[in-house]
Structure 1
Amino acid sequence: MLCVTANLSAQNKNDNMIENPMLWADVPDPDIIRVGDTFYLVSTTMHLMPGAPIMQSKDLKNWETIGYIFDKLTDSPKYDLSPTEGTVYGRGQWATSLKYHKGKFYALLAPNEAGAMGDTYIFTADQAAGPWKIVSRMRHFHDCSLFFDDDDRVYVIYGTGEMMELKQDLSDVIEGTHRQIFQREADETGLLEGSRMIKHNGRYYLMMISHVYAPGRHRREVCYRADNIQGPYEKTTILESEFGGFSYEAQGTIVDTEDGDWYGIIFQDRAGVGRVLTVMPCRWIDGWPMLGDEEGKVPARVRPLKSGEPVKSIVNADDFSNEKLGLHWQWNHNPVDKAWSLTERPGYLRLKTARVVPNLYLAPNTLTQRMEGPKCTGSIALDLSKMKDGDIAGLAAFNDNSAVMAIKKVGKRLTLELSEQKVSLSQREKKVEKVDVKVVESVELKQQKIWLRIDANFVPRTDIATFSYSLDGKEWTKIGGNFQMTFDWQRFFMGTKFGIFNYATKKVGGYVDVDEFAYNKHQ
């Protein structure tokens, strides 16, 4: 454990602490395990590909993405942004369960879809970074927890207190093993999901998010425990705390350290940036894993496990000099692999138009990264010389409500346009039904290279993005006004992302070259 000596200044003490949110970015539905001295975290990324990111840390402070459980999902044309079949905006991979058992990593996930698209996947890998391979597919389990017991029997706990046993080879469930291991209490009438089960000192602990929709009631994390996995279970509330001027926290899990200390990792809704992760002490009191500080509140800062760990981040700048795309990037839906390259012009990301589409929300190969709080800045440099008539390329604050800095090629003319765009999706198939576009400002361009920048402010109750462009990479000119970033669980269910895009509205064949993505996180 880190020891902070008395002669350190207050500033240095703060520098050595984990400031909550631990990850001030969109990292919802966490599951976390420890193997040796390393923590591994998985999160939900829904319609982004590759999916189910695995993040790694030695100190619970510095996190990096080391791999993904899958590159693509291919069950339906929806994963490819089909204009007729629909999309998977806000669907796709949800709430993956991550486990380590007898030298192997396991992950169980069920896309939030109806029918066969929602079948559960079980993956395994020798290393957390992958490669991962599919073990089996079976019926849908909502917000589930995979659990290996000490006797090697395997279970999936899902929904609201439902459980089934799996075959030893994980090929399927054992029919006839379905159990309702507890019943809702009379007041437990709202949200009760997000199962995460562990075993500690011979007891079974199932943690869930609970939200009773009634005046004076708050979101909370509850825990069910039993001496036998079949029950009977008793329940208590282990966390009921707001934090940082935002709503009450819940959904996550607990993890131990090599020294036997315990921590809780719980997410919190934070509007435009998405759902962020907080870390807090977990204290075993009367056999219950109570979360928070001594008053049961989420602390503003937590002491890291180690000192001297290198600074790492899940959001990063990129000069595109590597022949492989960095793990900090994800595509919007499945990419068209033949339509992008890091090798055709070394040091640049080439984005080719892949098919003719009517709008950004159906455009393949939009490349995204998370935004971070409290404030962050991302910018790109674009070579526009190979755009064709009807091509549209640029940088967006990308979400269901987006602000889009786009260079449009019309004939031989180039125009920079800032617009606000709002997508309407059908409820069931998530088809792109309509995109409302409000043009805020336009500027005619006389050159073939441009720099575009987004400044994002997620200071509590702000969620503002502003936009600038430069003709030389040095002097910046603001375009448009303040854009209010939002969060809509019925559409994308995701925080706003940086989105780099290029698509054709008339004919394919054009491309743009992205010179770099510059990035800074700041106070």
Structure 2
Amino acid sequence: MKKIIKFLSLCLIVHSINAQTNKAHNPIIFADVPDASMVRVGDTYYMSSTTMHVNPGVPIMKSKDLVNWEIISYCYETLGKGDVLDLENGKNMYGRGSWASCIRYHNDTFYVSTFSATTGKTYIFSTKNPEKEPWQKIEFEPSYHDNTIFFDDDGKVYMIWAAGKLNIVELKEDLTGVKENTQRVLIENASAPAGDNIMLGAEGSQLFKVNGKYYLFNITWPRGGMRTVVIHRADNINGPWEGRLGLQDLGVAQGGLIDTPDGRWFSYLFRDYGGVGRIPYIVPVKWEDGWPILGEDGKVPQYLDLPPNKSLIPGIVNSDDFDRKENDEDLSLVWQWNHNPDNSLWSVRERKGYLRLKTGRIDTAFVQAKNTLTQRTIGPVSTGSTMLDVSNMKDGDFAGLCLLQKEFGLVGVKNDNGNKKIVMVSAAGEGPKELATVPLNQNKVYFKAECDFRDKTDKAHFFYSLDGLSWTPIGETINMPYTLPHFMGYRYGLFNYATKHVGGYVDFDYFHISEEISKMK
């Protein structure tokens, strides 16, 4: 009898594991994809997100199942010009640039609205086909914080924005600005359902209309508590509005509603998760008395009744051998530049199968250097690696592989009076420090960085190799804290900058990213 019981228990465990592996799990993307906004068109979902100081900006992703996403375009190449956008004269826009966006579909056209306190403007981008046609840009002043654009059934177009006290305005028919005398307060205190002691006023507005009712989603943060979803509803956009708590679990918040072709409802949200960034979650929604009820018994489920997650590679991040055919794009969509690039100082065509980064000015600090090419780190663990040819460096040049955030870490090659050396740098604490140096007597060297985000471990290790086979750790383990000055998860980056003379260059043979680290093997 005991053997039968053990056998049956084993069968139940195996069945449970098999059932879970056939379902999606949260987070749906273990990478920095914050402030998501979604829309469904037919059987395809589209999502926009925040990328702030990296360009191109406002990525557009698509999915057939709400779980597995790929980047298909960006709304803009650059927001504009200026010292803070161009990393000129010691200025930068870390943690700023463009923030939360809103994607909508109206009259066979996709619209994405966003804003930038850096430029002081509100932006509306539009296209008929986000995969094959460019986005057209409208811009106007002022900058409407965390705005949501909304096309109502009567043809009017609204924008809701701000934090705590939420405002609404009607837009002109051509969306080029606001109609005069239409601005007013929509909700005096949108944080009220979460209590009186609020640290972050309700923001991140996303407005929806379901069965004739208006539903407004916001995020707020009670002092001493966690990020919280607040929902208001009204029968008329002019109110009155009634509000309630939508979800208060794990700090998962900010987002909105999405339905499936077969009539199911979900809410898309994100969670702060340390050094990897703000990662997207999906929670089921059921309707009770005209209210969307988020989660399962008020909790964020680990598993979802959706198709299982596949690898993020190649949808959100991807390896790159820089081997371009004649009609290929120079850079795949997983890549973004730190701030505005100087496109005259990089190439994937000048040397076949290599990314060439050239120097064009003198820089004294890594975070102020132009043309650092980045893509997201991913969790729970990941490794980024590259091979670098340093034959054409000039004296004072510094090039290599980084993990970019305020407290960055990097490993690279410095050319010091004709003597090349491998250097590991950490910017933890008071500022950048060289933690280790190794003489380099050859022109090809391999680097890798391993990231561990499991349970918010947020640690990284750097390695170098002289043959690509045998790896040697260098320097110290770095911590990867999520800091507000950069307001972004850690990103892998390839860099090269000059400290003495311009005109040198380096060639990167490849960048490979994997979902393993050496300690797992």
Judge same fold: TM > 0.5, yes or no. Answer: yes
Distance 1:356 1:30, change over 3 A: same
Corresponding position of 1:176: 181
CA distance in 2, matches of 1:220, 1:452: 41
User: Structure 2: where are the runs of 5+ without partners?
Assistant: 1-11
Corresponding position of 2:507: 513
Matched residue type, 2:196: D
Distance 1:475 1:9, change over 3 A: farther
User: Which residue, out of 343, 353, 366, partners 2:359?
Assistant: 353
2:451, 2:459 within 8 Å by CA — same for their partners in 1? yes
Give 3-state SS (helix, strand or coil) of 2:427's partner.
strand
CA distance in 2, matches of 1:312, 1:260: 30
Query: CA RMSD, aligned part only?
Result: 2.0
User: Which residue, out of 64, 78, 83, partners 1:77?
Assistant: 83
Give 3-state SS (helix, strand or coil) of 2:487's partner.
coil
CA distance in 2, matches of 1:345, 1:503: 19
* 2:316 is equivalent to residue 314 of structure 1: yes
CA distance in 2, matches of 1:454, 1:308: 23
User: Structure 1: where are the runs of 5+ without partners?
Assistant: 1-5, 243-247, 424-434
CA distance in 1, matches of 2:431, 2:243: 47
Corresponding position of 1:241: 249
* 2:257 is equivalent to residue 254 of structure 1: yes
Q: Shift of residue 313 of structure 1?
A: 2.7
For residues 238-317 of structure 1, the aligned pairs below 5 Å read 238-242=246-250, 248-293=251-296, 295-305=297-307, 312-317=314-319
CA distance in 2, matches of 1:464, 1:307: 25
Corresponding position of 2:148: 145
User: Which residue, out of 215, 231, 236, partners 2:239?
Assistant: 231
For residues 74-473 of structure 1, the aligned pairs below 5 Å read 74-84=80-90, 86-113=91-118, 117-129=119-131, 130-159=133-162, 160-184=165-189, 185=192, 187=196, 189-191=198-200, 192-213=202-223, 215=224, 217-242=225-250, 248-293=251-296, 295-305=297-307, 312-322=314-324, 323=328, 324-421=330-427, 436-473=431-468
CA distance in 2, matches of 1:310, 1:208: 28
CA distance in 1, matches of 2:389, 2:226: 50
CA distance in 1, matches of 2:208, 2:21: 33
CA distance in 1, matches of 2:103, 2:198: 28
Give 3-state SS (helix, strand or coil) of 1:143's partner.
coil
Give 3-state SS (helix, strand or coil) of 2:85's partner.
helix
Give 3-state SS (helix, strand or coil) of 1:21's partner.
coil
Corresponding position of 2:62: 56
Matched residue type, 1:204: Y
For residues 23-62 of structure 1, the aligned pairs below 5 Å read 23-62=29-68
CA distance in 2, matches of 1:234, 1:372: 39
Corresponding position of 1:428: none
Q: Shift of residue 11 of structure 1?
A: 4.4
Distance 1:312 1:254, change over 3 A: farther
Distance 1:511 1:193, change over 3 A: same
Distance 1:460 1:305, change over 3 A: closer
TM-score (norm 2): 0.91
2:345, 2:359 within 8 Å by CA — same for their partners in 1? yes
CA distance in 2, matches of 1:359, 1:92: 20
CA distance in 1, matches of 2:268, 2:347: 37
Corresponding position of 2:497: 503
1:52, 1:96 within 8 Å by CA — same for their partners in 2? yes
Q: Shift of residue 359 of structure 1?
A: 1.4
TM-score (norm 1): 0.91
Corresponding position of 2:6: none
2:60, 2:74 within 8 Å by CA — same for their partners in 1? yes
User: Which residue, out of 464, 470, 474, partners 2:469?
Assistant: 474
Give 3-state SS (helix, strand or coil) of 2:100's partner.
coil
1:59, 1:309 within 8 Å by CA — same for their partners in 2? no
1:381, 1:452 within 8 Å by CA — same for their partners in 2? yes
Give 3-state SS (helix, strand or coil) of 1:338's partner.
helix
1:83, 1:362 within 8 Å by CA — same for their partners in 2? no
Matched residue type, 1:469: Y
1:47, 1:88 within 8 Å by CA — same for their partners in 2? yes
Q: Shift of residue 305 of structure 1?
A: 4.9
1:59, 1:306 within 8 Å by CA — same for their partners in 2? no
CA distance in 2, matches of 1:454, 1:311: 17
CA distance in 2, matches of 1:286, 1:467: 55
Give 3-state SS (helix, strand or coil) of 2:320's partner.
coil
Distance 1:473 1:310, change over 3 A: closer
1:148, 1:154 within 8 Å by CA — same for their partners in 2? yes
Distance 1:7 1:203, change over 3 A: same
Distance 1:310 1:453, change over 3 A: closer
Q: Shift of residue 28 of structure 1?
A: 1.0
CA distance in 2, matches of 1:234, 1:302: 30
* Identical residues among aligned pairs (%): 43
CA distance in 2, matches of 1:472, 1:227: 68
* 2:480 is equivalent to residue 485 of structure 1: yes
CA distance in 1, matches of 2:313, 2:433: 41
CA distance in 2, matches of 1:333, 1:398: 12
Q: Shift of residue 135 of structure 1?
A: 2.8
Q: Shift of residue 136 of structure 1?
A: 3.7
1:40, 1:128 within 8 Å by CA — same for their partners in 2? no
Give 3-state SS (helix, strand or coil) of 1:181's partner.
strand
Give 3-state SS (helix, strand or coil) of 1:326's partner.
coil
Distance 1:306 1:518, change over 3 A: closer
1:62, 1:312 within 8 Å by CA — same for their partners in 2? no
Give 3-state SS (helix, strand or coil) of 1:110's partner.
strand
2:68, 2:309 within 8 Å by CA — same for their partners in 1? no
Distance 1:309 1:509, change over 3 A: closer
CA distance in 2, matches of 1:134, 1:211: 33
CA distance in 1, matches of 2:313, 2:389: 32
Distance 1:308 1:501, change over 3 A: closer
CA distance in 2, matches of 1:231, 1:422: 50
How many residues align structurally? Answer: 494
